[in-house]
Amino acid sequence: MSEAKKVLVADDSETVTTLLVTALELEGYEVDIALNGIEAYEKGIAGDYDLVILDQLMPGLLGLEIIERWRNEGHQMRVIMLSGVDDDRTVVHSLDLGAVDFVRKPFRLPELTARIRQRLAN
Amino acid sequence: MDATRIGLIAIGVVFGVDLLLLLGLVSLKAVHRRRMERHDARRSAYVAVLSRHLAFEHHTDPIGSNAGDDDAFIDAVIDLRNIVSGTEIETLAGIVDRVGLRKRQVARLRRRFPLGRRLRAAVSLAEIGDESTAAVLIEHLDDREREVRIQCARGLGRMQYTAAIDPILERLGREHPWVRARFADTLVGFGAKATWPLIAYIRVNLGHDENVGVIEAIRILKNLGDGEAGPPIAGVLRAADDPEVQIAAVEALGVVGGPLAIAPLLDALRSPDWRLRAKAATSLGEIGDPSVAAALSAGLEDENWWVRRNSAAALNLLPGGDDSLIAALGSDDRFARDAAAEALADSGALGAARDRAEIGQATEADGILIDYVTAQEAVPA
User: Which of A106, A108, A109 is nearest residue B82 as measured by Cβ atoms?
Assistant: A106
**Best CA proximity match to B196, nearest among B238, B234, B227:** B227
Question: Other C-beta atoms within 10 Å of A108: how many?
Answer: 15
Is residue A104 less than 8 Å (CB to CB) from chain B?
no
Q: What pLDDT score was predicted for residue A49?
A: 95
Question: Other C-beta atoms within 10 Å of B290: how many?
Answer: 13
Confidence grade of residue A2 (pLDDT, cut at 50, 70, 90):
low
User: Which of B44, B83, B87 is nearest residue A106 as measured by Cβ atoms?
Assistant: B83
* ipTM, interface predicted TM-score of the complex: 0.91
B100 phi/psi in degrees, rounded to 5: 65, 30
Assess whether pLDDT exceeds 70 at residue A51: yes
Can the peptide bond before residue B197 be classed as cis, meaning omega within 30 degrees of 0?
no
The answer to which of A6-15, B65-74, B248-257, B273-282 has the lowest mean pLDDT is B65-74
Question: Other C-beta atoms within 10 Å of B218: how many?
Answer: 32
Is residue A22 less than 8 Å (CB to CB) from chain B?
yes
Q: Please give, rounded to a whole number of angstroms, the shortest distance from the CA of B48 to a CA of chain A.
A: 6
Confidence grade of residue B1 (pLDDT, cut at 50, 70, 90):
low
Is residue B55 less than 8 Å (CB to CB) from chain A?
yes
Cross-chain Cβ contact A108/B76 below 8 Å: no
Q: What pLDDT score was predicted for residue B381?
A: 60
Cross-chain Cβ contact A19/B44 below 8 Å: no
Q: What pLDDT score was predicted for residue B210?
A: 84
Question: Other C-beta atoms within 10 Å of A96: how many?
Answer: 10
User: Which of B47, B81, B85 is nearest residue A18 as measured by Cβ atoms?
Assistant: B47
Mean pLDDT of A27-33: 96
**Sheet hosting strand A6-10, strand order edge to edge:** A30-34, A6-10, A51-55, A79-83, A101-104
Q: Which of A9, A14, A18, A104 has the highest number of chain B CBs within 10 A, making it the mutation to test binding with B?
A: A18
**Strand partners of residue A32:** A8
Q: What pLDDT score was predicted for residue B107?
A: 93
pLDDT tens, position by position, B246-258: 999 999 999 999 9
Q: Which of B81, B84, B127 has the highest number of chain A CBs within 10 A, making it the mutation to test binding with A?
A: B84
Confidence grade of residue B376 (pLDDT, cut at 50, 70, 90):
confident
How many pairs of residues across A and B have Cβ atoms under 8 Å apart?
53
Mean pLDDT of B293-306: 94
pLDDT tens, position by position, B202-221: 999 998 888 888 999 999 99
Query: Which own/partner contact pairs does B25-30 have at CB distance under 8 Å and 24+ positions apart?
Result: none
Confidence grade of residue B47 (pLDDT, cut at 50, 70, 90):
very high
Q: Which residues of A touch B76 (CB under 8 A)?
A: 15
Is residue B87 less than 8 Å (CB to CB) from chain A?
yes
Nearest CA in chain A to B47: A15
Q: How far is CA B73 from the centre of its chain?
A: 31
CA separation for the pair B149, B171 (Å, rounded): 10
Is residue B85 less than 8 Å (CB to CB) from chain A?
yes
pLDDT tens, position by position, B148-202: 999 999 999 999 999 999 999 999 888 998 999 999 999 999 999 999 999 999 9
**Best CA proximity match to B234, nearest among B190, B275, B283:** B283
Assess whether pLDDT exceeds 90 at residue A81: yes
Cross-chain Cβ contact B55/A19 below 8 Å: yes
Question: Other C-beta atoms within 10 Å of B267: how many?
Answer: 14
Assess whether pLDDT exceeds 70 at residue B324: yes
Mean pLDDT of B301-327: 93
Assess whether pLDDT exceeds 90 at residue A37: yes
Confidence grade of residue A15 (pLDDT, cut at 50, 70, 90):
very high
Is residue A118 less than 8 Å (CB to CB) from chain B?
no
pLDDT tens, position by position, B267-296: 999 999 999 999 999 999 999 999 999 999
User: Which of B48, B55, B79 is nearest residue A109 as measured by Cβ atoms?
Assistant: B55
User: Beta strands A6-10 and A51-55: pairing type?
Assistant: parallel
Mean model confidence pLDDT for chain B: 92
pTM of the model: 0.76
Assess whether pLDDT exceeds 60 at residue A1: no
**Best CA proximity match to A105, nearest among A76, A75, A73, A83:** A83
51-90 in A: which are within 8 Å (CB) of B? none
pLDDT tens, position by position, B345-374: 888 888 999 999 999 898 888 888 898 888
Q: Which residues of A touch B48 (CB under 8 A)?
A: 18, 22
CA separation for the pair B262, B266 (Å, rounded): 6
Assess whether pLDDT exceeds 90 at residue A85: no
CA separation for the pair A42, B150 (Å, rounded): 45
**Strand partners of residue A33:** A9
Q: Is B276 strand, coil or helix?
A: helix
Confidence grade of residue B60 (pLDDT, cut at 50, 70, 90):
confident
